[in-house]
Chain A
Amino acid sequence: MPETPLYPGLSPISTPLSDPLLEVDAVDAFYGDFQALFGVSMRVEAGAIVAVIGANGAGKSTLLKTIAGLMAARRDAIRFAGAAIGGGPAYATVARGIALVPEGRRLFPSLSVEENLLIGGQLGRPGPWTLVRVYDLFPVLAERRRLPSTALSGGQQQMVAIGRALMSNPKLILCDEISLGLAPIVVRDIYARLPSIVAEGAAVVIVEQDIVQALSASSHVYCLQEGRVALAGAAGALTREAISAAYFGV
Protein backbone atom coordinates (compact mmCIF):
# COMPACT_ATOMS: atom_id res chain seq x y z
CA MET A 1 0.00 0.00 0.00
CA PRO A 2 1.78 3.23 -1.10
CA GLU A 3 1.76 6.04 1.41
CA THR A 4 -0.53 8.88 0.35
CA PRO A 5 1.32 12.20 0.52
CA LEU A 6 -0.19 14.68 2.92
CA TYR A 7 0.04 17.49 0.41
CA PRO A 8 -0.12 16.09 -3.13
CA GLY A 9 2.44 17.76 -5.39
CA LEU A 10 4.88 18.55 -2.62
CA SER A 11 7.89 16.37 -1.98
CA PRO A 12 9.17 15.66 1.51
CA ILE A 13 11.63 18.30 2.70
CA SER A 14 14.54 15.90 3.04
CA THR A 15 14.87 15.32 -0.73
CA PRO A 16 15.32 17.89 -3.49
CA LEU A 17 12.23 19.13 -5.27
CA SER A 18 12.59 16.69 -8.14
CA ASP A 19 14.37 13.38 -7.76
CA PRO A 20 17.01 13.25 -10.50
CA LEU A 21 16.93 10.44 -13.05
CA LEU A 22 20.52 9.55 -12.20
CA GLU A 23 22.35 10.38 -9.01
CA VAL A 24 26.00 9.47 -8.58
CA ASP A 25 27.00 9.83 -4.95
CA ALA A 26 30.69 9.91 -4.06
CA VAL A 27 31.66 6.97 -6.25
CA ASP A 28 35.15 5.48 -6.21
CA ALA A 29 36.50 3.25 -8.98
CA PHE A 30 39.61 1.11 -9.18
CA TYR A 31 41.63 -0.74 -11.83
CA GLY A 32 43.40 -3.21 -9.58
CA ASP A 33 45.34 -1.06 -7.10
CA PHE A 34 45.03 2.06 -9.21
CA GLN A 35 42.23 4.38 -8.13
CA ALA A 36 40.64 6.12 -11.12
CA LEU A 37 37.72 7.93 -9.44
CA PHE A 38 37.75 9.65 -6.03
CA GLY A 39 34.33 10.41 -4.61
CA VAL A 40 32.76 11.65 -7.84
CA SER A 41 29.17 12.90 -7.57
CA MET A 42 26.85 14.04 -10.31
CA ARG A 43 23.16 14.45 -11.11
CA VAL A 44 21.32 14.04 -14.38
CA GLU A 45 17.72 15.22 -14.64
CA ALA A 46 15.29 13.44 -16.95
CA GLY A 47 15.54 14.79 -20.51
CA ALA A 48 18.75 16.76 -19.88
CA ILE A 49 22.01 16.75 -21.81
CA VAL A 50 24.97 16.73 -19.44
CA ALA A 51 28.56 16.96 -20.59
CA VAL A 52 31.55 15.46 -18.80
CA ILE A 53 34.81 17.04 -19.89
CA GLY A 54 38.40 16.66 -18.80
CA ALA A 55 41.87 15.80 -20.02
CA ASN A 56 43.01 12.32 -21.02
CA GLY A 57 43.04 10.00 -18.02
CA ALA A 58 40.80 12.29 -15.94
CA GLY A 59 38.37 9.39 -15.39
CA LYS A 60 35.59 10.33 -17.82
CA SER A 61 35.29 6.93 -19.48
CA THR A 62 35.64 5.23 -16.11
CA LEU A 63 32.73 7.26 -14.79
CA LEU A 64 30.52 6.17 -17.69
CA LYS A 65 31.62 2.53 -17.33
CA THR A 66 30.83 2.72 -13.63
CA ILE A 67 27.34 4.09 -14.30
CA ALA A 68 26.80 1.37 -16.94
CA GLY A 69 27.65 -1.32 -14.40
CA LEU A 70 30.92 -2.45 -15.95
CA MET A 71 32.97 -1.46 -12.87
CA ALA A 72 32.68 -2.46 -9.25
CA ALA A 73 31.04 0.23 -7.11
CA ARG A 74 29.13 0.69 -3.88
CA ARG A 75 25.51 -0.35 -4.47
CA ASP A 76 24.02 2.98 -3.35
CA ALA A 77 26.71 5.08 -5.05
CA ILE A 78 24.64 4.99 -8.25
CA ARG A 79 20.91 5.61 -8.00
CA PHE A 80 18.86 5.42 -11.19
CA ALA A 81 15.13 6.12 -11.28
CA GLY A 82 15.01 5.53 -7.55
CA ALA A 83 16.87 2.20 -7.49
CA ALA A 84 20.40 1.58 -6.17
CA ILE A 85 22.29 -0.02 -9.08
CA GLY A 86 26.01 0.55 -8.35
CA GLY A 87 28.31 -2.30 -9.34
CA GLY A 88 26.10 -3.74 -12.07
CA PRO A 89 25.96 -6.33 -13.58
CA ALA A 90 25.99 -4.45 -16.87
CA TYR A 91 23.37 -6.67 -18.52
CA ALA A 92 20.91 -5.78 -15.73
CA THR A 93 21.77 -2.07 -15.94
CA VAL A 94 20.80 -1.91 -19.61
CA ALA A 95 17.54 -3.66 -18.77
CA ARG A 96 16.81 -0.78 -16.36
CA GLY A 97 17.24 1.74 -19.16
CA ILE A 98 20.88 2.88 -19.27
CA ALA A 99 22.64 2.43 -22.62
CA LEU A 100 26.33 3.07 -23.20
CA VAL A 101 27.82 4.06 -26.55
CA PRO A 102 31.34 2.84 -25.84
CA GLU A 103 34.51 4.69 -26.72
CA GLY A 104 35.83 3.59 -30.11
CA ARG A 105 32.30 2.43 -31.11
CA ARG A 106 33.05 -1.27 -30.49
CA LEU A 107 30.60 -2.59 -33.10
CA PHE A 108 30.35 -6.36 -33.48
CA PRO A 109 32.49 -7.09 -36.57
CA SER A 110 30.81 -10.39 -37.44
CA LEU A 111 27.34 -8.82 -37.41
CA SER A 112 25.84 -6.80 -40.23
CA VAL A 113 24.75 -3.21 -39.67
CA GLU A 114 21.15 -4.29 -39.14
CA GLU A 115 22.15 -7.14 -36.82
CA ASN A 116 24.18 -4.69 -34.73
CA LEU A 117 21.03 -2.59 -34.35
CA LEU A 118 18.80 -5.60 -33.68
CA ILE A 119 21.03 -6.92 -30.93
CA GLY A 120 20.84 -3.52 -29.26
CA GLY A 121 17.08 -4.01 -29.10
CA GLN A 122 17.12 -7.67 -28.12
CA LEU A 123 15.83 -7.02 -24.59
CA GLY A 124 12.59 -5.74 -26.08
CA ARG A 125 12.22 -2.72 -23.78
CA PRO A 126 9.14 -0.79 -24.93
CA GLY A 127 9.62 2.75 -26.21
CA PRO A 128 9.76 5.01 -29.22
CA TRP A 129 12.86 3.54 -30.89
CA THR A 130 12.50 0.82 -33.52
CA LEU A 131 14.60 -0.21 -36.49
CA VAL A 132 12.46 2.04 -38.69
CA ARG A 133 12.88 5.06 -36.39
CA VAL A 134 16.66 4.58 -36.19
CA TYR A 135 16.79 4.42 -40.01
CA ASP A 136 14.75 7.64 -40.08
CA LEU A 137 17.32 9.28 -37.82
CA PHE A 138 20.29 7.98 -39.82
CA PRO A 139 18.99 7.32 -43.38
CA VAL A 140 22.42 6.31 -44.67
CA LEU A 141 22.30 3.22 -42.45
CA ALA A 142 19.15 1.95 -44.15
CA GLU A 143 21.00 1.81 -47.47
CA ARG A 144 23.86 -0.12 -45.91
CA ARG A 145 22.00 -2.37 -43.53
CA ARG A 146 23.15 -5.61 -45.18
CA LEU A 147 26.84 -4.69 -45.09
CA PRO A 148 29.20 -5.89 -42.37
CA SER A 149 29.65 -3.11 -39.82
CA THR A 150 33.36 -3.00 -40.62
CA ALA A 151 32.63 -1.85 -44.20
CA LEU A 152 31.27 1.53 -43.03
CA SER A 153 33.10 4.84 -42.61
CA GLY A 154 33.96 5.99 -39.11
CA GLY A 155 31.05 8.41 -38.95
CA GLN A 156 28.59 5.79 -40.14
CA GLN A 157 29.97 3.32 -37.61
CA GLN A 158 29.37 5.92 -34.92
CA MET A 159 25.77 6.24 -36.12
CA VAL A 160 25.38 2.46 -35.80
CA ALA A 161 26.81 2.61 -32.28
CA ILE A 162 24.34 5.34 -31.30
CA GLY A 163 21.48 3.55 -33.04
CA ARG A 164 22.40 0.31 -31.29
CA ALA A 165 22.15 2.09 -27.94
CA LEU A 166 18.84 3.74 -28.89
CA MET A 167 17.38 0.35 -29.85
CA SER A 168 17.28 -0.58 -26.15
CA ASN A 169 14.94 2.40 -25.62
CA PRO A 170 17.04 3.84 -22.80
CA LYS A 171 15.96 6.52 -20.36
CA LEU A 172 19.60 7.54 -20.16
CA ILE A 173 22.15 7.24 -22.92
CA LEU A 174 25.86 7.56 -22.17
CA CYS A 175 28.02 8.66 -25.13
CA ASP A 176 31.74 8.14 -24.72
CA GLU A 177 33.81 10.34 -27.07
CA ILE A 178 31.47 10.10 -30.02
CA SER A 179 33.56 12.64 -31.97
CA LEU A 180 36.82 10.74 -31.58
CA GLY A 181 38.59 10.28 -34.90
CA LEU A 182 35.80 11.82 -36.97
CA ALA A 183 35.95 14.73 -39.40
CA PRO A 184 34.49 17.99 -37.94
CA ILE A 185 31.65 18.02 -40.45
CA VAL A 186 30.67 14.49 -39.44
CA VAL A 187 30.83 15.45 -35.76
CA ARG A 188 28.47 18.39 -36.39
CA ASP A 189 26.15 16.09 -38.29
CA ILE A 190 26.02 13.62 -35.40
CA TYR A 191 25.58 16.31 -32.75
CA ALA A 192 22.75 17.79 -34.81
CA ARG A 193 20.77 14.57 -34.12
CA LEU A 194 21.07 14.85 -30.33
CA PRO A 195 18.01 17.12 -29.91
CA SER A 196 15.75 14.61 -31.68
CA ILE A 197 17.03 11.90 -29.33
CA VAL A 198 16.27 14.04 -26.27
CA ALA A 199 12.90 14.94 -27.76
CA GLU A 200 11.94 11.28 -27.43
CA GLY A 201 12.45 11.55 -23.69
CA ALA A 202 15.95 10.18 -23.08
CA ALA A 203 18.54 12.04 -21.04
CA VAL A 204 22.06 12.10 -22.49
CA VAL A 205 25.47 12.20 -20.86
CA ILE A 206 28.24 13.06 -23.29
CA VAL A 207 31.91 12.62 -22.59
CA GLU A 208 33.80 14.93 -24.87
CA GLN A 209 37.34 16.21 -25.41
CA ASP A 210 36.12 19.11 -27.55
CA ILE A 211 35.07 21.67 -24.93
CA VAL A 212 33.31 24.03 -27.36
CA GLN A 213 31.26 21.16 -28.73
CA ALA A 214 30.44 19.96 -25.22
CA LEU A 215 29.39 23.39 -23.95
CA SER A 216 27.18 24.14 -26.92
CA ALA A 217 25.40 20.79 -26.80
CA SER A 218 24.76 20.51 -23.06
CA SER A 219 22.88 22.26 -20.30
CA HIS A 220 25.16 21.13 -17.46
CA VAL A 221 28.87 20.45 -17.41
CA TYR A 222 31.06 18.44 -15.08
CA CYS A 223 34.79 18.81 -15.43
CA LEU A 224 36.91 15.95 -14.12
CA GLN A 225 40.54 16.25 -13.18
CA GLU A 226 42.57 13.27 -12.00
CA GLY A 227 39.48 11.38 -10.90
CA ARG A 228 37.78 14.22 -9.03
CA VAL A 229 35.11 16.73 -10.00
CA ALA A 230 37.06 19.98 -10.44
CA LEU A 231 34.16 22.08 -11.65
CA ALA A 232 30.43 21.66 -12.15
CA GLY A 233 27.65 23.99 -13.23
CA ALA A 234 25.22 25.15 -15.87
CA ALA A 235 26.92 25.30 -19.26
CA GLY A 236 26.08 28.97 -19.74
CA ALA A 237 27.34 30.02 -16.33
CA LEU A 238 30.89 28.71 -16.63
CA THR A 239 33.61 31.08 -17.75
CA ARG A 240 36.37 30.04 -20.08
CA GLU A 241 38.94 30.82 -17.35
CA ALA A 242 37.20 28.62 -14.81
CA ILE A 243 37.05 25.78 -17.30
CA SER A 244 40.69 25.97 -18.31
CA ALA A 245 41.68 26.14 -14.65
CA ALA A 246 39.60 23.05 -13.88
CA TYR A 247 40.74 21.30 -17.05
CA PHE A 248 44.44 21.76 -16.65
CA GLY A 249 44.59 22.18 -12.90
CA VAL A 250 46.51 25.46 -13.02
Chain B
Amino acid sequence: MTEWINAIVQGVLIGGLYAMFAAGLSLIFGIMRLVNIAHGDLIVLAAYIALVTATTLGLNPIVALVIVVPAMALIGYGLQRGLLNFTLGDDLLPPLLVTFGLSVIIQNGLLELFTADSRRLQAGAIEVATIPVVPGISIGVLPLLQFALAVAVIAGMQFVFYRTALGRAFRATSDDPAVAQLMGLDNRHVFALGMALSLAIVAIAGVLLAVRTNFDPAIGPARLIFGFEAVIIGGLGSLWGTLLGGILLGVAQGIGAELDPGWQMLAGHLAFLVVLAVRPEGLFAKIRG
Protein backbone atom coordinates (compact mmCIF):
# COMPACT_ATOMS: atom_id res chain seq x y z
CA MET B 1 0.00 0.00 0.00
CA THR B 2 2.68 2.49 1.00
CA GLU B 3 4.56 2.01 -2.27
CA TRP B 4 1.41 3.02 -4.17
CA ILE B 5 0.96 6.13 -2.06
CA ASN B 6 4.63 6.79 -2.50
CA ALA B 7 4.32 6.50 -6.29
CA ILE B 8 1.45 8.95 -6.32
CA VAL B 9 3.24 11.44 -4.06
CA GLN B 10 6.38 11.33 -6.18
CA GLY B 11 4.20 11.68 -9.29
CA VAL B 12 2.57 14.78 -7.88
CA LEU B 13 5.97 16.29 -7.09
CA ILE B 14 7.44 15.65 -10.55
CA GLY B 15 4.17 16.97 -11.99
CA GLY B 16 5.26 20.40 -10.84
CA LEU B 17 8.28 20.15 -13.13
CA TYR B 18 6.10 19.08 -16.07
CA ALA B 19 3.80 22.00 -15.37
CA MET B 20 6.80 24.33 -15.69
CA PHE B 21 7.73 22.74 -19.04
CA ALA B 22 4.15 23.36 -20.07
CA ALA B 23 3.64 26.87 -18.67
CA GLY B 24 6.15 28.58 -20.96
CA LEU B 25 4.80 26.65 -23.93
CA SER B 26 1.17 27.60 -23.36
CA LEU B 27 2.14 31.20 -22.52
CA ILE B 28 3.57 31.92 -25.96
CA PHE B 29 0.93 29.90 -27.77
CA GLY B 30 -1.67 31.97 -25.94
CA ILE B 31 -0.09 35.30 -26.74
CA MET B 32 1.04 34.83 -30.34
CA ARG B 33 -0.26 31.43 -31.56
CA LEU B 34 3.31 30.22 -31.88
CA VAL B 35 4.00 26.54 -31.31
CA ASN B 36 7.59 26.39 -30.16
CA ILE B 37 9.04 23.05 -31.27
CA ALA B 38 12.41 24.11 -29.79
CA HIS B 39 10.92 24.50 -26.31
CA GLY B 40 12.38 21.23 -25.00
CA ASP B 41 15.81 22.02 -26.44
CA LEU B 42 15.72 25.44 -24.85
CA ILE B 43 15.14 23.69 -21.51
CA VAL B 44 18.27 21.64 -22.17
CA LEU B 45 20.16 24.77 -23.27
CA ALA B 46 19.23 26.38 -19.94
CA ALA B 47 20.57 23.30 -18.15
CA TYR B 48 23.91 23.63 -19.98
CA ILE B 49 24.12 27.35 -19.26
CA ALA B 50 23.53 26.47 -15.60
CA LEU B 51 26.24 23.80 -15.83
CA VAL B 52 28.77 26.27 -17.22
CA THR B 53 27.82 28.96 -14.71
CA ALA B 54 27.89 26.58 -11.76
CA THR B 55 31.24 25.03 -12.67
CA THR B 56 33.09 28.22 -13.69
CA LEU B 57 31.81 30.33 -10.79
CA GLY B 58 31.63 27.45 -8.32
CA LEU B 59 28.00 28.17 -7.54
CA ASN B 60 25.29 25.88 -6.29
CA PRO B 61 22.97 25.31 -9.30
CA ILE B 62 20.00 26.67 -7.37
CA VAL B 63 21.97 29.87 -6.74
CA ALA B 64 23.02 29.90 -10.41
CA LEU B 65 19.34 30.54 -11.25
CA VAL B 66 20.08 34.20 -10.46
CA ILE B 67 22.22 34.25 -13.62
CA VAL B 68 20.51 31.64 -15.79
CA VAL B 69 17.02 33.13 -15.54
CA PRO B 70 17.93 36.64 -16.79
CA ALA B 71 20.27 35.12 -19.41
CA MET B 72 17.50 32.96 -20.85
CA ALA B 73 15.04 35.87 -20.72
CA LEU B 74 17.49 37.94 -22.77
CA ILE B 75 17.95 35.10 -25.25
CA GLY B 76 14.16 34.88 -25.50
CA TYR B 77 13.75 38.58 -26.18
CA GLY B 78 16.49 38.54 -28.83
CA LEU B 79 15.20 35.35 -30.44
CA GLN B 80 11.72 36.79 -30.79
CA ARG B 81 12.80 40.22 -32.08
CA GLY B 82 15.54 38.90 -34.34
CA LEU B 83 13.89 35.79 -35.76
CA LEU B 84 10.49 34.56 -34.64
CA ASN B 85 8.57 37.81 -35.14
CA PHE B 86 9.30 37.51 -38.86
CA THR B 87 7.63 34.10 -38.99
CA LEU B 88 4.34 35.21 -37.46
CA GLY B 89 1.29 35.79 -39.63
CA ASP B 90 -1.93 34.14 -40.64
CA ASP B 91 -0.13 30.90 -41.40
CA LEU B 92 0.83 28.64 -38.46
CA LEU B 93 3.37 26.68 -40.53
CA PRO B 94 6.36 29.09 -40.77
CA PRO B 95 6.91 29.40 -36.99
CA LEU B 96 6.52 25.63 -36.70
CA LEU B 97 9.21 25.02 -39.33
CA VAL B 98 11.57 27.69 -38.03
CA THR B 99 11.40 26.48 -34.43
CA PHE B 100 11.88 22.92 -35.67
CA GLY B 101 15.05 24.10 -37.39
CA LEU B 102 16.05 25.89 -34.20
CA SER B 103 15.59 22.63 -32.31
CA VAL B 104 18.01 20.86 -34.67
CA ILE B 105 20.53 23.71 -34.40
CA ILE B 106 20.43 23.79 -30.58
CA GLN B 107 20.78 20.02 -30.26
CA ASN B 108 23.73 19.84 -32.62
CA GLY B 109 25.36 22.96 -31.24
CA LEU B 110 25.24 21.47 -27.74
CA LEU B 111 26.55 18.18 -29.10
CA GLU B 112 29.55 19.98 -30.64
CA LEU B 113 30.28 21.96 -27.48
CA PHE B 114 29.57 19.42 -24.76
CA THR B 115 29.67 16.01 -26.52
CA ALA B 116 26.94 13.42 -26.02
CA ASP B 117 28.09 12.54 -22.48
CA SER B 118 25.34 12.81 -19.96
CA ARG B 119 25.83 15.45 -17.31
CA ARG B 120 24.35 16.26 -13.96
CA LEU B 121 24.17 19.37 -11.84
CA GLN B 122 25.35 18.76 -8.28
CA ALA B 123 23.26 20.57 -5.72
CA GLY B 124 25.04 19.15 -2.66
CA ALA B 125 23.50 17.70 0.49
CA ILE B 126 20.03 18.93 -0.38
CA GLU B 127 19.85 16.24 -3.08
CA VAL B 128 19.54 13.40 -0.58
CA ALA B 129 17.79 15.20 2.28
CA THR B 130 14.33 13.82 3.03
CA ILE B 131 11.44 14.55 5.31
CA PRO B 132 9.80 11.39 6.73
CA VAL B 133 6.03 11.79 6.62
CA VAL B 134 4.80 8.42 7.90
CA PRO B 135 6.80 5.22 8.20
CA GLY B 136 7.56 4.03 4.68
CA ILE B 137 6.83 7.36 3.00
CA SER B 138 9.32 10.17 2.97
CA ILE B 139 9.47 13.19 0.75
CA GLY B 140 12.73 14.42 -0.73
CA VAL B 141 13.55 18.01 0.11
CA LEU B 142 14.62 18.70 -3.46
CA PRO B 143 11.43 17.41 -5.16
CA LEU B 144 9.41 19.32 -2.57
CA LEU B 145 11.37 22.48 -3.30
CA GLN B 146 10.82 21.92 -7.02
CA PHE B 147 7.11 21.51 -6.52
CA ALA B 148 6.92 24.62 -4.35
CA LEU B 149 8.81 26.55 -7.03
CA ALA B 150 6.43 25.28 -9.71
CA VAL B 151 3.41 26.40 -7.69
CA ALA B 152 5.11 29.76 -7.11
CA VAL B 153 5.84 30.13 -10.84
CA ILE B 154 2.23 29.35 -11.79
CA ALA B 155 0.94 31.73 -9.09
CA GLY B 156 3.36 34.39 -10.28
CA MET B 157 2.23 33.95 -13.88
CA GLN B 158 -1.38 34.13 -12.76
CA PHE B 159 -0.59 37.40 -11.00
CA VAL B 160 1.29 38.88 -13.95
CA PHE B 161 -1.43 37.88 -16.38
CA TYR B 162 -4.46 39.10 -14.47
CA ARG B 163 -3.16 41.84 -12.16
CA THR B 164 -0.49 43.81 -14.03
CA ALA B 165 -0.30 46.16 -17.00
CA LEU B 166 2.05 43.71 -18.73
CA GLY B 167 -0.51 40.93 -18.39
CA ARG B 168 -3.21 43.24 -19.73
CA ALA B 169 -1.00 43.96 -22.73
CA PHE B 170 -0.45 40.21 -23.26
CA ARG B 171 -4.17 39.48 -23.16
CA ALA B 172 -5.10 42.43 -25.36
CA THR B 173 -2.47 41.57 -27.97
CA SER B 174 -3.63 37.96 -27.93
CA ASP B 175 -7.25 39.07 -28.43
CA ASP B 176 -6.68 41.52 -31.28
CA PRO B 177 -3.13 42.46 -32.34
CA ALA B 178 -4.32 45.20 -34.73
CA VAL B 179 -6.40 47.04 -32.14
CA ALA B 180 -3.67 46.51 -29.51
CA GLN B 181 -1.46 48.70 -31.70
CA LEU B 182 -4.09 51.44 -31.47
CA MET B 183 -3.53 51.36 -27.70
CA GLY B 184 0.13 52.21 -28.28
CA LEU B 185 1.37 48.64 -27.94
CA ASP B 186 4.13 47.57 -30.31
CA ASN B 187 3.24 43.93 -31.03
CA ARG B 188 6.86 43.01 -31.74
CA HIS B 189 7.89 44.23 -28.29
CA VAL B 190 4.94 42.59 -26.52
CA PHE B 191 5.67 39.26 -28.25
CA ALA B 192 9.34 39.54 -27.32
CA LEU B 193 8.44 40.18 -23.68
CA GLY B 194 6.21 37.10 -23.83
CA MET B 195 9.07 34.98 -25.15
CA ALA B 196 11.40 36.45 -22.51
CA LEU B 197 8.96 35.43 -19.77
CA SER B 198 8.53 32.01 -21.33
CA LEU B 199 12.29 31.38 -21.41
CA ALA B 200 12.70 32.70 -17.86
CA ILE B 201 10.36 29.89 -16.81
CA VAL B 202 12.26 27.51 -19.10
CA ALA B 203 15.43 28.46 -17.22
CA ILE B 204 13.95 27.47 -13.86
CA ALA B 205 12.59 24.25 -15.35
CA GLY B 206 15.92 23.46 -17.01
CA VAL B 207 17.94 23.89 -13.83
CA LEU B 208 15.49 21.85 -11.74
CA LEU B 209 15.51 19.11 -14.38
CA ALA B 210 19.31 19.04 -14.46
CA VAL B 211 19.57 18.76 -10.68
CA ARG B 212 17.04 15.93 -10.62
CA THR B 213 18.27 13.77 -13.46
CA ASN B 214 21.06 13.22 -15.96
CA PHE B 215 20.85 15.23 -19.15
CA ASP B 216 22.48 15.22 -22.56
CA PRO B 217 21.89 17.28 -25.72
CA ALA B 218 19.26 14.88 -27.08
CA ILE B 219 16.68 14.85 -24.28
CA GLY B 220 14.86 18.06 -25.32
CA PRO B 221 12.13 16.64 -27.56
CA ALA B 222 10.84 14.31 -24.83
CA ARG B 223 10.50 17.31 -22.46
CA LEU B 224 8.58 19.09 -25.21
CA ILE B 225 6.17 16.15 -25.38
CA PHE B 226 5.67 16.20 -21.58
CA GLY B 227 4.97 19.92 -21.80
CA PHE B 228 2.46 19.47 -24.62
CA GLU B 229 0.73 16.66 -22.78
CA ALA B 230 0.42 18.68 -19.58
CA VAL B 231 -1.04 21.63 -21.53
CA ILE B 232 -3.57 19.45 -23.35
CA ILE B 233 -4.59 17.54 -20.22
CA GLY B 234 -5.03 20.75 -18.26
CA GLY B 235 -6.69 22.68 -21.05
CA LEU B 236 -5.43 25.67 -23.02
CA GLY B 237 -5.74 29.06 -21.42
CA SER B 238 -5.87 27.88 -17.82
CA LEU B 239 -2.67 28.24 -15.79
CA TRP B 240 -3.86 26.29 -12.76
CA GLY B 241 -5.21 23.70 -15.20
CA THR B 242 -1.71 23.38 -16.60
CA LEU B 243 -0.36 22.68 -13.11
CA LEU B 244 -3.02 20.01 -12.57
CA GLY B 245 -2.29 18.63 -16.03
CA GLY B 246 1.37 18.29 -15.11
CA ILE B 247 0.45 16.59 -11.84
CA LEU B 248 -1.89 14.17 -13.57
CA LEU B 249 0.82 13.29 -16.08
CA GLY B 250 3.33 12.78 -13.26
CA VAL B 251 0.94 10.60 -11.26
CA ALA B 252 0.08 8.50 -14.32
CA GLN B 253 3.79 7.96 -14.94
CA GLY B 254 4.35 7.11 -11.27
CA ILE B 255 1.55 4.52 -11.24
CA GLY B 256 2.79 3.07 -14.54
CA ALA B 257 6.30 2.73 -13.15
CA GLU B 258 4.94 1.03 -10.06
CA LEU B 259 3.14 -1.56 -12.20
CA ASP B 260 6.20 -2.19 -14.30
CA PRO B 261 9.29 0.02 -14.53
CA GLY B 262 9.03 -0.12 -18.33
CA TRP B 263 5.52 1.33 -18.33
CA GLN B 264 6.34 4.72 -16.88
CA MET B 265 6.32 6.71 -20.16
CA LEU B 266 3.60 4.53 -21.67
CA ALA B 267 1.23 5.22 -18.76
CA GLY B 268 1.78 8.97 -19.12
CA HIS B 269 1.07 8.90 -22.85
CA LEU B 270 -2.01 6.72 -22.28
CA ALA B 271 -3.40 9.16 -19.72
CA PHE B 272 -2.86 11.94 -22.25
CA LEU B 273 -4.59 9.99 -25.02
CA VAL B 274 -7.55 9.18 -22.77
CA VAL B 275 -8.04 12.89 -21.96
CA LEU B 276 -7.65 13.80 -25.63
CA ALA B 277 -10.29 11.24 -26.60
CA VAL B 278 -12.78 11.96 -23.81
CA ARG B 279 -12.31 15.69 -23.25
CA PRO B 280 -10.27 17.13 -26.14
CA GLU B 281 -10.57 20.69 -24.80
CA GLY B 282 -8.75 19.60 -21.64
CA LEU B 283 -9.98 19.10 -18.10
CA PHE B 284 -9.96 22.74 -16.99
CA ALA B 285 -10.19 24.61 -20.30
CA LYS B 286 -11.29 28.24 -20.28
CA ILE B 287 -11.25 28.61 -24.06
CA ARG B 288 -14.13 26.80 -25.70
CA GLY B 289 -14.33 25.54 -29.28
Residues of A within 8 A of B (CB): 68, 70, 89-91, 94-95, 99-100, 102, 106, 108-111, 115, 118-120, 122-123, 164, 168
Contacting pair A106 B174 (CB below 8 A): no
A109 to B172, CA, bound (A): 8
- Closest A residue by C-beta to B178: A70
Give the 3 A-B CB pairs with smallest separation, nearest first: A90-B181, A123-B184, A108-B175
As a 0/1 sequence over residues 181 to 211 of chain B, the CB contacts with chain A under 8 angstroms (1 = contact) are 1111111000000000000000000000000
Q: Given A115-B168, A119-B168, A122-B168, are A106 and B176 also a contact pair (CB < 8 Å)?
A: yes
Q: Which residues of B contact A95 (CB under 8 A)?
A: 184
Instruction: Check: B171 CB closer than 8 A to any chain A CB.
Output: yes
Instruction: Check: B252 CB closer than 8 A to any chain A CB.
Output: no
- Closest B residue by C-beta to A105: B179
Q: Which residues of A contact B165 (CB under 8 A)?
A: 118-119, 122
A96 to B27, CA, bound (A): 31
A–B pairs, 6, beta carbons within 8 Å: A68-B182, A89-B181, A91-B186, A108-B176, A122-B183, A123-B183
A120 to B168, CA, bound (A): 11
Q: Which residues of B contact A106 (CB under 8 A)?
A: 176, 179
Q: Which residues of A contact B181 (CB under 8 A)?
A: 70, 89-91, 94
Give residues of chain B (245-282) contacting chain A, Cβ–Cβ below 8 Å.
Answer: none
Contacting pair A168 B184 (CB below 8 A): yes
Contacting pair A90 B169 (CB below 8 A): no
Considering residues A108, A109, A115, A122, which has the most beta carbons from chain B within 10 angstroms of its beta carbon?
A108
Which of B175, B178, B183, B187 is within 8 Å of A168, CB to CB? B183
Q: Which residues of A contact B172 (CB under 8 A)?
A: 108, 110-111, 119
Contacting pair A91 B171 (CB below 8 A): no
Q: Which residues of B contact A120 (CB under 8 A)?
A: 183
Give residues of chain B (142-178) contacting chain A, Cβ–Cβ below 8 Å.
Answer: 165, 168-169, 171-172, 174-176, 178
Q: Chain B interface secondary structure, helix, strand, loop or mixed?
A: helix
A184 to B174, CA, bound (A): 33
Contacting pair A91 B168 (CB below 8 A): no
**Tally of contact residues, B, Cβ under 8 A:** 18
Contacting pair A108 B184 (CB below 8 A): no
Q: Given A118-B168, A119-B168, A122-B169, are A110 and B182 also a contact pair (CB < 8 Å)?
A: no
Q: Which residues of A contact B186 (CB under 8 A)?
A: 89, 91
Contacting pair A94 B178 (CB below 8 A): no
Q: Which residues of B contact A123 (CB under 8 A)?
A: 183-184
- Distance of B130 from chain A, by nearest CB (Å): 43
Q: Which residues of A contact B183 (CB under 8 A)?
A: 91, 94, 119-120, 122-123, 164, 168
- Closest A residue by C-beta to B170: A110
- Distance of B29 from chain A, by nearest CB (Å): 15
Contacting pair B168 A94 (CB below 8 A): no
A89 to B177, CA, bound (A): 13
A111 to B185, CA, bound (A): 15
Q: Which residues of A contact B174 (CB under 8 A)?
A: 110
- Distance of B27 from chain A, by nearest CB (Å): 14
Which of B168, B178, B184, B187 is within 8 Å of A111, CB to CB? B168
Contacting pair B184 A110 (CB below 8 A): no
Q: Which residues of A contact B185 (CB under 8 A)?
A: 91, 119, 122
A106 to B176, CA, bound (A): 8
A216 to B165, CA, bound (A): 40
Considering residues A106, A110, A111, which has the most beta carbons from chain B within 10 angstroms of its beta carbon?
A110
Which of A100, A115, A118 is within 8 Å of B182, CB to CB? A100
A99 to B182, CA, bound (A): 7
- Distance of A24 from chain B, by nearest CB (Å): 18
Q: Which residues of A contact B176 (CB under 8 A)?
A: 106, 108
A89 to B172, CA, bound (A): 18
- Distance of A150 from chain B, by nearest CB (Å): 11
- Closest B residue by C-beta to A121: B183
Q: Which residues of A contact B184 (CB under 8 A)?
A: 91, 94-95, 122-123, 168
Q: Which residues of B contact A111 (CB under 8 A)?
A: 168, 171-172, 175
- Closest B residue by C-beta to A164: B183
A100 to B187, CA, bound (A): 17
Contacting pair A109 B175 (CB below 8 A): yes
Q: Which residues of B contact A100 (CB under 8 A)?
A: 182
Q: Given A90-B182, A168-B184, are A110 and B169 also a contact pair (CB < 8 Å)?
A: no
A106 to B180, CA, bound (A): 10
- Closest A residue by C-beta to B186: A91
Q: Which residues of A contact B168 (CB under 8 A)?
A: 111, 115, 118-119, 122
